[in-house]
Amino acid sequence: MAFEQVPRHVFVPRIVGCWPPFSSDTEITVDRQSHSDLWLELVYSDRLLFIVNDGSRRSSSSMPSVMARFLELLDVHDGGVVLEIGTGSGYNAAILCHRLGSEHVTSIDIDAELVEAAGPRLAACGYTPTLAVADGWQGYAPRAPYDRIIATCAVPRIPEAWIEQLRPGGVIVAPLRGGRFEAAGLVGLRRRDDGSLTGRLHPRGAAFMPMRKGPEMPMPASRERLRSLAQGTDGEERPCTIPAWLEGTDDGLSPYFFLRLHERDDWEWFWLSGPHGEPRAPAAAAPDGSWARVIRRPRRTFPNVVLQGGPRRLWDLVEESYAQYLRLGSPGLGRYGLEVEPSGRQFIWLDRPGSTYAWEL
C-alpha cells in the first residue's frame, strides 16, 4: 500500500497552522527542530497540512484520506501515463511514482518555488518524475497524451486542453469550485472515442483551493460592501420560511450545492440581528446588488419576514430551490454527474446524462 510505504514527513518539513486547532488565532510554524513530537504527530495524522517555503504560506498537503478518494477515482493501471496538476508538497506525486514508476508520472505546479522544493524531496525517496512549472489550465502538452489527469486544485469546468491531451478511455479526476460550484464537488470522468466525457460526482466531495490563473473569474465583491448591502431595511417585505439546512437542522452541503447550480454568482452570507434587536437570522447579498435579509418574529403565531432589494429576489430563489430539492428527494452529491459533449459544451446532470435536470457550465 503506497500510503504505508511513502514517507510523508519528507514532503512537509515545515507546517503552519493554529494549534490546537480552533482554539487559537495565532499561527505557529511546526517543524522537526521546533516541535518534534507535534510535527511527527501532525504529519502522520489524517490532516490537511499547510506548508511553507521561505516563510509564506504557499500550498497544502491534502488529507491522506481525501487523496485516497482521488486515487480510487483515478483508477490507475500498470504502465499508465499520468499528469498531476498541482505538485504542492510532492507527496501525491510520490504516491503516483510508487504505484506506476517515475517514468510514467508528470507533475506540474504554477509555483516555481514549490516545484524546486519538491524535486529534491522526491529524489530523496528515489523518485524522479518529470516536474515542470506550468499553468495547469493548459495541461502539459510536451508529455501528452496521458491515460490519466489528476488535478489537486479546483476548476469551475474541465479545460479543453485536458480533453485534448487525454487518450480515449482515459480518466480525469478534478475537484470543482467556482462558477456554479461551491467547493465541494469532485468528479471522475472517462473519455469516450468521440472526445466526449462523462462521469459521476463523488458522494462525499472534496473542498480544494481554486486553480490560480485559469479562466477569467469575476473579481469577488468585497465582503464589507456586501455586508452593508445585506443590512438594508428598506426592501420589499413578505412572510418567509427559513430552509432547514440554513437553521442547521438538516445537512447543509447538498441543498447548498443544489442552490449554487441555479446561481453562478458568489453570494456572501451573514447572520444578522434584526433592526429592533430580533434574534439573528440569515441574510445574503450578491455582487449585482441583490440582497435579502430575514427578520425573525418574536412569537410563532407571526411568520418570519424577509426584506429583499436590488435587481433580483434572492430569498425567492433560496425558497424555490429548497422546495425543488425536497421534491427531487434531497439529492446528495453522488446523484449528479458531469457530461462534456464532443462540441465542448459541459453540463451537470441529475441522475443520468440527458436528464431534464441539467445545468450548463
Which residues sit at the interface with ligand SAM, rule CB under 6 A?
59-62, 85-86, 88-89, 91-92, 108-111, 114, 135-137, 152-153, 208-209, 211-214
Coil, helix or strand at residue 219: coil
Of the pair 122, 314, the CB lying nearest ligand SAM is at 122
Minimum distance between the CB of residue 200 and ligand SAM, rounded to whole angstroms? 22
Please, what sign has the CA dihedral across residues 340, 344, 349, 355? negative
Minimum distance between the CB of residue 335 and ligand SAM, rounded to whole angstroms? 26
Q: Return the active site residues.
A: 62
Minimum distance between the CB of residue 245 and ligand SAM, rounded to whole angstroms? 27
Q: How many helices (H) and strands (E) does the chain have?
A: 10, 19
Of the pair 1, 194, the CB lying nearest ligand SAM is at 1
Burial classification of residue 244, based on how many CB atoms lie within 10 Å of its CB (0-12 exposed, 13-18 middle, 19 or more buried): middle
Residue 205 gets the label, from left (phi > 0), alpha (psi -120 to 50) or beta, of left
| Sheet strands side by side (includes 105-109) | 130-133, 105-109, 82-85, 146-151, 166-178, 181-191, 197-200, 336-340, 346-350, 358-360
Minimum distance between the CB of residue 49 and ligand SAM, rounded to whole angstroms? 9
Alpha carbon separation from 126 to 51, 90, 101, 116, 313 (Å, rounded): 22, 13, 10, 16, 58
Of the pair 143, 227, the CB lying nearest ligand SAM is at 143
Minimum distance between the CB of residue 340 and ligand SAM, rounded to whole angstroms? 19
Cα(195)–Cα(158) distance, rounded to whole angstroms?
13
Alpha carbon separation from 67 to 3, 93, 200, 338, 339 (Å, rounded): 10, 11, 18, 21, 23
Of the pair 59, 290, the CB lying nearest ligand SAM is at 59
Of the pair 153, 348, the CB lying nearest ligand SAM is at 153
Residue 129 CB neighbour total at 10 angstroms = 25
Please, what sign has the CA dihedral across residues 153, 156, 160, 165? positive
Of the pair 90, 274, the CB lying nearest ligand SAM is at 90
Cell representation of residue 89: 508538497
Minimum distance between the CB of residue 5 and ligand SAM, rounded to whole angstroms? 16
Burial classification of residue 243, based on how many CB atoms lie within 10 Å of its CB (0-12 exposed, 13-18 middle, 19 or more buried): buried
Of the pair 100, 230, the CB lying nearest ligand SAM is at 100
Cell representation of residue 216: 477569467
User: Which residue has the CB atom at the shortest distance from ligand SAM?
Assistant: 88
Cα(275)–Cα(281) distance, rounded to whole angstroms?
11
Minimum distance between the CB of residue 178 and ligand SAM, rounded to whole angstroms? 12
